[in-house]
Chains A and B, each alone.
Chain A
Amino acid sequence: MLNAIDTIIIDGLSFSLPLFIMAIGGIYSERSGVTNLALEGLQGMGAFVGGLTAYVMAQHMNPDSQLPYYVSLLVAMAGGCVYAMLHALLCIRFRANQVISGVVINVLGAALTGFLTKAINRTVFGAASDRFVLSVSDRITVPGISKIPILGAFFTKIYPFEIIIIVIAVIAWYFLYRTRFGLRLRACGDNPAAVDAAGGDVAKTRFIAVMVSGALSGLAGMCFAYSILANFSSSIYMGYGYLAIAGYIFGNWEILPSLGACLIFGFARSAGSEIVLALGMPAAYSDLVMTLPYVVTLLLLVFLSRHNQAPRALGQTYDKAQR
């Protein structure tokens, strides 16, 4: 039997980690100089194509198979990546206002996936439904370690995606801080003219960075669909994308501090649910508790973000001809 603290840790992690990988996506985009408010729409689009894939596959396969699960994560990354190219195209190629482009991506994503879900359900599956119901993901408990009090909770009932996220996060960290590509990417966000003068391609670097943010957001969206909702529906648009943005802003556009911020959000949320449960409050109050991460966001904003420094060239289109 799990006690309350274990539950807080288990649920907190499964919420924090998708948030974290999405925040890394945001860091890639913004450290390259492209404002990315589109995370929300990108994760929704990822969850949509991933959810659809899993739903279709599940119809033709053994219900116990975990294959649709892994394929859907991959497809979600591809979907988010392709959808992000729209943002990249608008911001980099056509020099649109990056904030507006981001908002458009979000609104368009929510409307389009909502519509398509209903339309596909009706025409293809002959069902009047606004969601794709997903199979339940396996969860892994590491034998032995999980028995350790409190610490063991970090190894109990882990979603497989949590491990995938940690692996990808390590790779993303290495690329951003240790490789030639990462060095140039971060330079693009501070002074693109320096990269240009050094013979780098600012537009290409930024384009790739935005695509990475799409792929990572798509992955996050699919993880939310599996863990929190167990389906794809428009309730995926709960503002997780914005929360991820808050996460990396508190993390000062650096990967490790952003992990800290995302963990705080995740644990605030799961602790809130436990409190509702423990106090035996009516369900209506649980919605109130779900606002906890956002309240924490506000408080952190007031106290912590004063000294944070956004990338200097963030939001500026780069025009070679301008001197």
Chain B
Amino acid sequence: MEESPYIVEMRHITKRFPGIVANDDVSIGVKKGEIFAILGENGAGKSTLMSMLFGMYEPDEGQIFIRGKEEKITSPSYASHLNIGMVHQHFKLVSNYTIAENIVLGVEPMKKAAGFLPCVDRKRANEEIAALSKQYGLEVNPTDVISKVNVSTRQRVEILKMLYRKAEILIFDEPTAVLTPQEIDSLLRIIRNLRDGGKTIILITHKLEEIKQVADRCAILRRGKLIGTYDVASMDTKEMANLMVGREVALTLEKAPASFGKTVLSVSHLTVKNEDGFPVVKDVSFEIREGEIFAIAGVSGNGQTQIADAIAGLLPAAEGKISILGKDLAPLDIRSRARAGLSYIPEDRQTTGLVLDFALSDDLALRRYNREPFEHRGVRDQKTTNTFGEELIGKYDIRSANGVATIVRSMSGGNQQKAIVAREIEEDAKLTIFVQPTRGLDIGAIENIHRQILGERDKGKAVLLISLELDEIMQLADTIGVIYSGSIGKIAPASEFTTAEVGEYMMGVKHA
């Protein structure tokens, strides 16, 4: 038999799910010791393809060869036996266990207590993890409990989990989605080191910059089909983006010069406490003017969501004053605040933003169903609601299977988000709050939402943008406030910040 040049080869893989072909005749080959990227929009079939390599699904058609030998990978433990490891997008960690316990779970070192009782040897586990962590420069403290450590540490734990199992082929599923710029740099460095140490890396991502930075080759998938496999060095990001989306995309948006009007939102000395009475937002003050996009940058969980919730009325303000156009919001409930000129695109579109089991038209009318002409004397007018829905579907390019009658749960995340944005923008409020508006969306949908945000600003509205995506903030914001541990450390025009600087404030490394 001819020696295969590939350590991993997937030939003519097809995988169908009810109503969708997730992978359609996809063939890729990964060489030993390279960083191989798999690029594609959400729903392009990247994760499905890799899940088959990791034994979470089995392909309907096609073959998988590992080290030149055909394998039926039926379970993650068999994949692990073939020295394949995977860091999933959603970490698979036990939150009340220590780092060491998480890593050894499934392959625990054992000892005999009192000479005969089998028991898990925690001491040895801790020592082994400490040594492994040192060997690969992945700093963790084996005895820390997972729920007490931050996201990037958790990711290092996931990587150590693979290495502890002697994985040679390491799959990373969207590893940078949850990290800050500094953390991303450090992760990419780790990935490079692993490759230099002889490991083979497969990197699933939709971020072009990262591929450009670390990958040797990349396969591009679009709607389940393989577009091609390319040498990264021979392409620029623009070409990759076009291949990925299948049309010309604007990577950077045209942004008109800002012209600010009078102050719309004024927040002064706002403090918000959590259920335990611990302040999560500490003495925060800022103002947003007409025609201004004010962005709050920060690592997840530093109080930014609570600021938005306090403004919208979802959380009580412990101290401080919030006013819109000089009107104090304190005595107003949520609906009255909306009437006073506030629109809100919440962080979690599925639990806070939409009633998932409603028809699209009803979800689109959630802000106005109780007003004329959507109701007459307490009876709803479905016809008006539907007409309004159809209008918005056209205007905001919301795609769905059955038009206004579509049940929202069945729509894609991007279209669900477009529906929320449509509903809130149509209110024509003075202030619109966007919290993580593009989380989990692909390039096409992101472009659409970004245009809407800029459109609001250009109409002279005030926009509060809260995002974990630093690129998004740098692209859209006129003014940036960086939040760390509940306090906004620095507020300045976006033009006075560099990306790296914002990152430093976000980590609390640099103080104003």
Contacts and interface: CB of A to CB of B under 8 A. Distances in A.
A198 B107 contact: yes
B105 A187 contact: yes
A195 B104 CA distance: 11
Contacts of B77: 198-199
A199 B92 contact: no
Nearest to A183: B120
Interface of A: 174, 178-180, 183-184, 186-187, 190-191, 193-200, 312, 320-321, 323
A320 B56 contact: yes
Contacts of A184: 105-106
Interface residues of B, number: 30
B90 A323 contact: yes
A318 to B, nearest CB: 12
Contacts of B93: 191, 194
Contacts of B108: 180, 183
Interface in B332-374: none
B205 to A, nearest CB: 17
B434 to A, nearest CB: 27
Interface in B81-122: 86, 88, 90, 92-97, 101-102, 105-108, 110, 113, 117-120
Interface in B53-103: 56-57, 75-77, 80, 86, 88, 90, 92-97, 101-102
B75 A199 contact: yes
Interface of B: 47, 51, 56-57, 75-77, 80, 86, 88, 90, 92-97, 101-102, 105-108, 110, 113, 117-120, 161
Given A187-B97, A191-B93, A197 B76 contact: yes
Contacts of A190: 94-97
Interface of A is mostly: helix
Contact of B92 (A178, A183, A191, A321): A191
A184 B80 CA distance: 18
A121 B133 CA distance: 68
A183 B94 CA distance: 10
21 contacts: A174-B119, A178-B113, A178-B117, A178-B119, A180-B110, A180-B118, A183-B97, A183-B108, A190-B97, A191-B93, A191-B94, A193-B92, A194-B92, A194-B93, A195-B105, A197-B86, A198-B161, A199-B80, A200-B106, A312-B96, A321-B57
Contact of A187 (B47, B76, B94): B94
Contacts of B102: 194
Given A194-B105, A197-B76, A198-B106, A178 B120 contact: yes
Contacts of B94: 186-187, 190-191, 194-195
Contacts of B88: 197, 323
Contact of B105 (A174, A178, A200, A321): A200
B118 A199 contact: no
A179 B120 CA distance: 5
